Structure formats: structure tokens, C-alpha cells
Structure 1
Amino acid sequence: MDRDEARKMKEQLTAFARELAERHGTTATQGSPGGRTHAAAADVVRAPTLALGLVPQGDGEFGIAVRYRLGVPRARSIVRKVSAEIGPGADVRRTGRIRPVSELGPRPPAPTSQADGDTDRRRPLRPGVSIGHVGVTAGTLGAFVTRAVPGDGHLYALSNYHVLAGSPEARPGDVVLQPGPADGGLAPGDRIGELTQVVDLDSAEPSYTDAAIARLDRVPISLDYPVGRVVKTARALGGEIVGKVGRTTAITRGRVTAIELDDVIVGYEDLGALSFDDQIEIESLDDGPFSRGGDSGALVYREDGVAVGLLFAGSESGGRSGKGLTYANPIDQVLDILEVELAREQTHPFG
């Protein structure tokens, strides 16, 4: 199938899966007047974490990605029927519980070479280092961005909502630290800026990005990544070899194994289970996982240095390798919603 045909099939399969979930979920409707609504039926699909997307098959062809959570019998039953409708083009994989990457397991010390992400205090600031809201543990500084606002000459740090804000109680003006609090960033000199803007996350409707920006103080910065300056963006098409620089696992390599994944359910400690649409899935090409706790907010880029995503969530198990899967928001979606662009050399006055 070409991409348009695959998208149409995905839409049809989503409706089919929800119909199946409604049938299998009749016992859950007892005591509910009027039976289950369409929205509630969708919740039944999301409860076992059934996500559908596109998977590249070469020569511009696409199949359907089917992802479901380990250990949920209802999900397996629905997956079998959905897969039968797809036929040979079904790419079925199990996932573990998907959570924001900052909540994935322990945060071991990261390598401390200049080329890697780390937990130390770094001046000049650069992508890949530890960062966090004063009330958060630690995540990763993904990139520097500028706002398309006349007269705004400030530079901003881009990362995740759950890194730069962390909770609905966070407010613009809150202190942002480098390194993050989990890495000892509590001294006065560790302040690098303040929370400026977040993309709200709402459990009542699908989300597309987990993102926020912080306006930087007058601190020295470096725009360099291990692959050079990242100033271009592109839509992930699937199959790309990608990298990231994270606070915990430093430089890792992976492959985009699925795109346009809908109903990716991510469990947040403060916000509960949230559904994300149009997400990118990445599986590690290294001996270890592509990401671990503390890598949230890292920029995901192709081998040629073009950015494709903002890393935000993952599972500790699942995928073909069993090492877990990582999920990223499409970077163009992130930049458009926040109305920012990746910073270029001539736009940062304090570098």
C-alpha cells in the first residue's frame, strides 16, 4: 500500500477495533445508563493500550503497525482479529508499560565526556545536558529555539512539559535549573532561566506533544551537537537511522520502526493515562536501550543531522529486541504548536 492507502486502512481498523472493544466491554457497562458511548468504547481500546500506525516496507510501500501492551488478555484478543483484517502487512509488536522517559527506572550517572550528555553543571550550555524545573527530578535539554515574535531577541531551551514544568501547579516564571535537581542543581548559580510556555496536556482528548520552553538568562551557550549544528527539520518517513544525546544514556542510535501511531497511552504520575496521536516509534540499534530515565526532552535527529522528533516516552520492555521502545513527538508539530524555530548561530547573542 502507498501511504494514503495505509492511512485509510488505519482509520478503518481504528473503527473496527473500537467496535470489538465495545462488544468485549459489555460487562464494564453494567450500571451505566444507556450503555457505552463511542468515546467510552475508545477508552476500552486504550485500556489495553492498542495503538495503530504505519510501518515502512520499502519502495514507498507501507503496512500497518499494531502495538499492544504485554499481559492484557483483552488486547491480545482484539489484536488477533485486527491483524486478520490486515493480513500479511501487519507488523504486530508487544510493548511494556509506556511512561514518560523521566520516570523510566533509575537514573544512573551518565558519561561525562564533552561529546556526551551528562549530569554535571555545564557552561556553556549545550544540548544533551541535565535540566529541570526546580520541582522536577531531571531531564534533557533538547535544543535552543527562538520565538517568532517581533522584538523578542531571547533564546529559549526546548524540552518536555514533564521536564520544564512537571505538574499542573507549575507557572510561567518558575525557576529552571542546570543540572536538574536530581543531579544536585540547587545552588544559586545553577539557575539558567525560567519556565515560559507549556503545551497543555488534557486527558479528555488526544495529545500530540509533551513540550515546553524556558527563557534563558544571560548564560553562555553552544549550539553544537556531536553531529554538528541541527537547524533543519523533517517529517519521519519510517526506517531512518536516528540518534539522540540524552542526559543519561548519552549518544545512542536507533531506527524509526513506526510513524503516525495513534492511541499511544502514556502513564503520568500526576496526570494519569494520556493518549497521544501521530507519534514516532524508535527501537535501539545498540546493545542497550535507545533511552532511559532522564533522557526525556532529547532531540532525535537523522544521521545527516536533520531533526525529526522530541523524545518523551518509552517502555522498559517490548519490541523485537526486548530492550523496550522509545516514542517521540514529530519535531515540526512541536515547533508549530509552540510557535518557535530551532536557533541558528546568528540568533543567539550570548553564545
Structure 2
Amino acid sequence: MDHDEAREAKAHAAAMARMLAGRAVRASTTVTSGSLLSVGLAPRADGGYAIALRYRLGLPGVRSIARKVAAELGPGVDVRRTGRIRPLASAPRIRLGGPVPGPRPPVVTAQALGETGRARPLRPGVSIAHRDVTAGTLGAFVQVGGVLHALSNHHVLAGVPGASAGDLILQPGPADGGRVPADRVGTLAAFVPLAAGETALVDAALALLDDDEVDATYPVGSVTTTARALGGENVGKIGRTTSVTAGRVTAIELDDVVVGYGDDLGNLRFDDQIEIEGTGRTPFSRGGDSGSLVYREDGVALGLLFAGSETGGDNGRGLTYVNPIDAVLGALDATLLA
């Protein structure tokens, strides 16, 4: 199928999945509305598209829905089980309200492999977070009205109930030893709200930086332009936990990607997302990589990493979910630093 044909088939698949899921919810105590399929487009080797079907839980009723939708659409449907999908900030290691005590972590140079230390000047891929969050990744440097900011996720730079503009941002994040005031690098400037019960497109926020001296280079050099993912691209990222990794875009325009945000927000639904699997034997991302910028091999930005699954992918190490970068920048009225 070409792109337009695939989009029509996707709409049909989504409608069928909703109908079958509604029946399953009414008929069973084990299938819930949170078990709906994610439906998107999967790239094919011939340049066309198949339908991507993703189901999150291994319950028999959900697998049955996936099989019925796939059978209705015919051969070539890309069906995968993901398991639960969660935001990829680091695992909780601190009490809400303050960083862990202890000595300041060592300064990390641009040539070092570790991404959890104190990095000056700031650079993409290092640990960063709101003072009351654990740790995520500084994804990119952007400009808003000509003023320099750092880009990451909402759940990294805001992430706690009551967060507001002016809250302190630390590098490294508190989970990696960041302290107030020694490791302050800026303040929370803006974020795209996330609300329970509402469909989201991006998980994104900005920090206004105290210092304009930054190192904006990536493993592929400068990343100053953006593009929409078409599927099948070879991509990379540099993140706080897994550092430099390589992957491939396995699905685009995925709707109903349900991400578990815990007690404060519950399960949030995201539309129009990008899916990536790691290549080789390693995962593309792990907890703490949230906020990483995802770029093509030629240094063009495609998205902002925010969540990952327990299972899936050719290497079985899980799938990564990414907000389209143009949607992120548009929501924040920002541009990549040129």
C-alpha cells in the first residue's frame, strides 16, 4: 500500500479494534479499556506500508482482538506485543522534595562515555532533571525568541504535581547526585501540559539556561534541521543511561499508545507517535534516557524520546516511543539551535 492507502486501512483497523475491544470489555472481567490496540503504519521493504498493530498486555482477549483485526486486513500486517509502556526517566532513588545527599559527582568531559556526571559546558545526552525528579536526559538546545533553552520531557523537567516556571533544574539530575544550589543550570521555563483523560501528542518541556556556553554537538555532528519520520530510517541517540545507541524506525503515525505515568496521571494516551527498535544486541533506550533527541544517520532530527516497552523488537530488548520533533518544537514555539 502507498501512504494514502495505508492511512485509509489504518482508520478501518482502528475502528474495528475499538468495536472488538468494546465487546471484550463488556463480556470479560480481564480485558479493560486500557488494553486497546495501538494502530499505525509499518514500513515495507518495497517502499510501501503495512498496518502496524501493537497490543500491550498478554491477556487472551487482547491477543484475540489483534488476530481478528489482522485477519480482516489480510496478509502482511505487522503485529507485535509490547507489554506495558512507561516513561523512561530513571527509576526512583530519592524522596520527592530533595536530591540525594553526598559528594558532587565528577565533571564529565565531552569525550567521556558516561552521561551521569557533572558536564560543563552542557551538552546533549547528559543527566538533567527538575530538582524533585530523579534523572532524565538533556536532548537538545533550542531557541525561543532568540533565547537559549534546553529541551527534554515534561516528566523530566517538570514531572511533579505543582511544578511551575522558575523551579530549579539540576545537572546532573538528583538521582545522579545533583545538589541545590551547586548543580543548578537553569529554571523550568515552559512545558506542554499532560492531563489524565486527555489525548496527548508530546511530552515536552524547556529549561531556561543560566549560561549560554554549551557544546551542541552529537555523535553525528551538529543537528540543526528536522524531518518527519517516514519509516525504516536508521537512527541514533545519546542518552543518560545507554549513551550512544543505534536503532531503526519500525512504525510511524501510531495512535492510542498508552503510557503508564503512575498515580498522578495514570495511563495517558498518545497519538501520532514513532516507534523504534534497537539494532544489534542492545536496547535502543532504558530508564533515564527520556528526553534524548533521536536523529537520522545524516544528522537530521526526527523526534524526542519519552517512553519504552518491556518487550518487543527483533532483539527482544523492548521498543522505544518518540514524539515527532516538529510537533514538539511547534508546541513550545522553539527552534533547534543553529
- State TM-score, norm by structure 1: 0.88
Shift of 1:321: 2.0
Counterpart-to-counterpart distance in 1, 2:7 and 2:160: 34
Q: Equivalent residue of 2:195, what SS?
A: coil
* Counterpart in the other structure of 1:141: 138
User: Using a 3 Å threshold, how does the CA distance of structure 1 residues 324 and 104 change in structure 2: closer, same or farther?
Assistant: farther
User: Using a 3 Å threshold, how does the CA distance of structure 1 residues 257 and 6 change in structure 2: closer, same or farther?
Assistant: same
Question: Which runs of structure 1 show a deviation greater than 6 angstroms over 4 or more consecutive aligned residues?
Answer: none
Percent identity at matched positions? 62
Which runs of 5 or more structure 2 residues have no equivalent in the other structure?
A: 94-104
* Counterpart in the other structure of 1:35: none
Q: Equivalent residue of 1:102, what SS?
A: coil
Counterpart-to-counterpart distance in 2, 1:93 and 1:52: 11
Q: Deviations over 1:238-264 (max 9, x none)?
A: 000100000010000000000000000
Q: Deviations over 1:260-295 (max 9, x none)?
A: 000000000221100000000000013221101110
Counterpart-to-counterpart distance in 2, 1:49 and 1:291: 24
Task: Check if 1:50 corresponds to 2:37.
Answer: yes
Q: Equivalent residue of 1:205, what SS?
A: coil
* Counterpart in the other structure of 2:307: 313
Task: Check if 1:253 corresponds to 2:250.
Answer: no
* Counterpart in the other structure of 2:184: 191
User: Which amino acid in structure 1 is aligned with residue 152 of structure 2?
Assistant: S
User: Using a 3 Å threshold, how does the CA distance of structure 1 residues 113 and 250 change in structure 2: closer, same or farther?
Assistant: farther
Count of residue pairs brought into register by the alignment = 322
User: Using a 3 Å threshold, how does the CA distance of structure 1 residues 45 and 65 change in structure 2: closer, same or farther?
Assistant: farther
User: Which amino acid in structure 2 is aligned with residue 200 of structure 1?
Assistant: P
User: Which amino acid in structure 2 is aligned with residue 262 of structure 1?
Assistant: D
User: Which amino acid in structure 1 is aligned with residue 44 of structure 2?
Assistant: Q
User: Which amino acid in structure 1 is aligned with residue 73 of structure 2?
Assistant: I
Shift of 1:232: 0.6
User: Which amino acid in structure 1 is aligned with residue 313 of structure 2?
Assistant: G
User: Which amino acid in structure 1 is aligned with residue 120 of structure 2?
Assistant: R
The partner residue of 2:64 within 61, 71, 77 is 77
Task: Check if 1:64 corresponds to 2:51.
Answer: yes
Task: Check if 1:96 corresponds to 2:83.
Answer: yes
CA contact (8 A) 1:104 1:315 kept: no
User: Which amino acid in structure 2 is aligned with residue 114 of structure 1?
Assistant: A
Counterpart-to-counterpart distance in 2, 1:237 and 1:139: 27
Task: Check if 1:236 corresponds to 2:236.
Answer: no
* Counterpart in the other structure of 1:288: 282
Which deviates the most, 18-27 or 302-311? 18-27
* Counterpart in the other structure of 1:10: 10
* Counterpart in the other structure of 1:347: none
CA contact (8 A) 1:163 1:297 kept: yes
User: What RMSD over aligned residues (CA atoms) do the two structures have, in Å?
Assistant: 1.9
CA contact (8 A) 2:90 2:136 kept: no
Q: Equivalent residue of 2:238, what SS?
A: strand
Q: Deviations over 1:155-188 (max 9, x none)?
A: 1000000000012310110000000000111142
User: Which amino acid in structure 2 is aligned with residue 227 of structure 1?
Assistant: V
Larger relative helix fraction: 1
CA contact (8 A) 1:296 1:313 kept: yes
Counterpart-to-counterpart distance in 1, 2:23 and 2:180: 57
Q: Deviations over 1:27-69 (max 9, x none)?
A: 479xxxxxxxxxxxxxx77511410000111333100001012
Q: Deviations over 1:76-109 (max 9, x none)?
A: 1110110001111200111121000115699xx9
* Counterpart in the other structure of 1:128: 125
User: Using a 3 Å threshold, how does the CA distance of structure 1 residues 291 and 49 change in structure 2: closer, same or farther?
Assistant: farther
User: Using a 3 Å threshold, how does the CA distance of structure 1 residues 184 and 340 change in structure 2: closer, same or farther?
Assistant: same
* Counterpart in the other structure of 1:19: 19
Which deviates the most, 47-56 or 125-134? 47-56
Shift of 1:307: 0.4
Which runs of 5 or more structure 1 residues have no equivalent in the other structure?
A: 30-43, 345-351
Task: Check if 1:301 corresponds to 2:295.
Answer: yes
